Structure 1
């Protein structure tokens, strides 16, 4: 009898460990299904609508060969105009742009991406302006697909489907492959879901996004003079434009059949710095949207913003339970956790694994990085008032975008 009771108590001790992580797991799966199910019903808009369009690209210290290839891909899409706003220090790309008769060059000596974007938008005189990063390569037909949703006068901005392009043009590094996984997660679930339910995408990525020109010109001042906690913002231009569009009563849409290719930092340090900057931008924008209240006009988007804010911190419970299980010698629980992580992550990134089967080999690395990114996001939240680009020699100093040394980034 004593042996039986002891065995039951030991079994109960193992089961108690599973209660918090099981409840949290059910919540996370429910939120994933809340994105995955509506995403299945997404379809891109297809019609015969056309309109005039200008491409605006801010250029700073770009790889010359990549910039030339990007220009060629845009020209192949036949825009009405291409405006390259080029930092005066980037004389190589300026010389390249001048060799293209289709490109209007605007030199700019004000550091920072926002002033460059604003200058290009001011110079645009077409119905649509497409903001494009200088390293982004387009597939044929991207511009045509981007303009179709603007047949609806309530749509103010349209995004694209991004893919990773190796920085050396040949073979992707581990960190570029991980970036590609994160892209596929976003474009398999969150983006089509928020597009389908509510037509309110939280961020039209700055790598390529189209807007009504007149609308962006009207939003020039709040775009250039965004602050958070009284501090001027420098990065996060795409989140800012998207938020302003939604805040002013327009809808946002993503055309997932309009595919573009962009480079990502190929090294671990750059990968983490990009994630810190993006996380800070997201926290600033999402917390402001929830606080100001306009996002509640889009209930589904509001739910997604709340989930994105708390999700990184709920993930930390898993490694904590694993660590305690190892310390206390609860090997069955530790093994069950590790196996479950691999199964659940494989299910959630299945669209990527189907497209890139070789990435089954880096699934354990992706799982470890996912939990590490939770710590990175916690750090980003604690340092939310820091306004540094981290991967560019530009930072906010006394409320102005200023060139700084590499060490000061």
Structure 2
């Protein structure tokens, strides 16, 4: 049976591109399967530092109790002066509270690690709930004196619905694929996520000036603190590692508007960090890390060839080919998501949604590249104006019309993820720490 010419003209490049992309994935996936966490017991004193800004009090209380249930030396909360509700929550627990009137997350992190008194410092987001053994697990990689920072595995906390399921799939793909392979091949993770990242305090003090004075094309950087810290640690010859046995849960947006804004901020941060890193010598001392940075940048463009070919096939009404392409996406993405599907088999039925959201995120990444110089938090009322980090009103951040909603600034109420009181953890390997008042011996 002969096929129309356009199948060869369009189908052949698409097939070749598919083979190349699968080859690139296997380069990551094979070492990711071989990854192993550190297992030998090791211990150092550790402080938890948490910048707090307009957090949901219920989520914040659950998070504080989970940190206290771990065996750490101290919990330091750096709370924005505008957040009276979280100050009230903090007053119920044995924690240190620093109130700050300086806008922005970076200064809060700096204040926290300067106040810490231990060799290790865990930088933690205020909506992140820890499993009971996170501290014990993150200590272990520091037995290697070359390791300067350790990351944890993350999943979605509390939220339900389509976006929560899709986000959970993306998280498992990240920690069982990219981060695992980077840890095995070179012990150089591209980003220790700010939801929970543990560093040697002396290194934080060493990089503090560069961290606080980061600029990109002459504009002070507002966000991207986790990528920046990871880069600064690696630049100085230290290593970073994923300890996947340390599991935490965080809240994520459950509305498309906030989801788009968050992804746009993350994508801008990634472009800035990776473009700068690839222009410097240090990253080429970690060839696999450099490879994953280049591959991630290229995939932002190549990912859109598939839907473009699908749209063309729909226009010419070749339904059989459309069905074959859709079936291939279902099968291929399921293969790549096997670690997640083992934990949550029902996510098989979310694969089509996962594919569509991947395309949306690719478009957001392209928008982020075109607007990479803009410095707005987007989900907080903080921005850079005239070279200074300032509090803002709810005026919109201008951007391409296709993503006007993603750029619009929402109110604090809209940006808050609503959760019931201490919601149950979704089906996971293990649950979060018990509540403070439920622990044996607590008053």
Query: TM-score scaled by structure 1?
Result: 0.94
1:136 aligns with 2:128: yes
After superposition, where does 1:61-80 map in structure 2 within 5 Å? Answer: 61-80=54-73
SS at match of 1:373: helix
| 1:163 match | 155
After superposition, where does 1:348-367 map in structure 2 within 5 Å? Answer: 348-367=336-355
1:281 aligns with 2:295: no
Instruction: Report the number of matched residues.
Output: 397
1:241 aligns with 2:233: no
| 2:280 match | 292
Gaps spanning 5+ residues in structure 1: where? 1-6
What is the distance in 2 between the residues matched to 1:220 and 1:98?
29
Match of 1:346 among 311, 334, 347: 334
| 1:28 match | 21
Deviation, 1:347, is 1.1
SS at match of 2:8: helix
After superposition, where does 1:33-112 map in structure 2 within 5 Å? Answer: 33-101=26-94, 103-112=95-104
After superposition, where does 1:225-264 map in structure 2 within 5 Å? Answer: 225-264=213-252
Deviation, 1:338, is 1.6
What is the distance in 2 between the residues matched to 1:166 and 1:237?
25
CA contact (8 A) 1:166 1:173 kept: no
What is the distance in 2 between the residues matched to 1:362 and 1:144?
34
CA displacement, residues 188-215 of structure 1 (integer Å, 9 cap, x when unaligned):
1001100001000000000001000011
Gaps spanning 5+ residues in structure 2: where? 397-408, 410-443
SS at match of 1:26: helix
What is the distance in 2 between the residues matched to 1:234 and 1:274?
14
After superposition, where does 1:262-273 map in structure 2 within 5 Å? Answer: 262-273=250-261
1:194 aligns with 2:182: yes
Deviation, 1:11, is 5.2
CA contact (8 A) 1:175 1:265 kept: yes
| 1:4 match | none
CA displacement, residues 211-259 of structure 1 (integer Å, 9 cap, x when unaligned):
0001101111110111111111111100000000000100001100000
What is the distance in 2 between the residues matched to 1:207 and 1:238?
9
Query: TM-score scaled by structure 2?
Result: 0.87
Deviation, 1:12, is 5.2
| 2:405 match | none
* Larger RCO, structures 1/2 (Cα 8 Å, 6+ apart): 2
What is the distance in 2 between the residues matched to 1:179 and 1:406?
27
What is the distance in 1 between the residues matched to 2:161 and 2:102?
33
1:319 aligns with 2:307: yes
Deviation, 1:362, is 2.2
CA RMSD of aligned residues (A): 1.3
| 1:215 match | 203
SS at match of 1:253: strand
Deviation, 1:13, is 4.5
Deviation, 1:178, is 1.1
CA displacement, residues 357-382 of structure 1 (integer Å, 9 cap, x when unaligned):
22222222211111121111111111
Deviation, 1:354, is 2.2
What is the distance in 2 between the residues matched to 1:131 and 1:283?
23
CA displacement, residues 101-139 of structure 1 (integer Å, 9 cap, x when unaligned):
2x1111100111100000001111210000010111110
